Amino acid sequence: MQDISRDVVERASEGDIEAFEEIYRISASYVYTIAYRVTHSKEDAEEVTQDVFMGVYRNIGKFQSRSTFKTWVYRITMNIAINLINRRKRKTGRTITYDDAISAGENIYAHEGQLYKEDDKKVIESMLRVLPPEQKACIVLKVMEGLKYKEIAEILKININTVRSRLKRARERLLALRKREASGDEV
């Protein structure tokens, strides 16, 4: 996502609809992609995207330049997506902790142009599904988005050591899954 100028954010916070539309045009596909990576559902990603921009519209006046606009939107997207997953899990009697959503493996993108192959994408998506939302969030931010531990901690509003431990647990879980699949055991 390209950076959004402070001027556009200020105009949007003052009620300028054209400025808000510019924010939407610049960031909608970014928000949708993040939401889809967390929810693994087109419909849920669309719902999260809608909720994110409703939240941005209502709260843009509260945005402070301590972080980038991208970081702020990312944090909102992750929170809404994880809340949606947990809400659905509670309905079925299964909740997910934040620590369960972190890991998805190290080689998500192919080397060519940062685009990953369809087969890799399917494997990664299926692996991400076994992770709790908190671990999945950290994995998506680290591996797919290429963020540093400090940036992940800021986005998720958690301690940097929590980021490290969630990533470690997610990787361990994914390695165990890979070993079970390689040995022919059911997942």
Residue-level pLDDT at 83: 87
Instruction: Please choose, from the candidates 118, 116, 92, the residue with its C-alpha nearest in 3D space to the C-alpha of residue 106.
Output: 116
Domain of residue 41, residue span: 1-94
The model's pLDDT over 139-184, given as tens digits with 9 standing for 90+, comes to: 888 887 788 888 888 888 899 999 999 988 988 888 787 777 767 6
Distance of alpha carbon 34 from alpha carbon 45, whole angstroms: 8
Domain match, 109 and 77 both: no
Based on the structure, what is the number of domains in the chain?
Answer: 2
pTM score: 0.59
Domain match, 39 and 76 both: yes
Last residue of a domain, one of 71, 94, 117: 94
Distance of alpha carbon 36 from alpha carbon 30, whole angstroms: 10
Domain match, 86 and 105 both: no
Domain match, 90 and 100 both: no
The model's pLDDT over 15-43, given as tens digits with 9 standing for 90+, comes to: 899 999 999 999 999 999 989 988 888 99
Packed helices 69-92 and 17-39: angle between N→C axes, nearest 10 degrees: 50
Domain match, 81 and 14 both: yes
Here the CATH number for the domain that contains residue 47 is: 1.10.1740.10
Domain match, 37 and 111 both: no
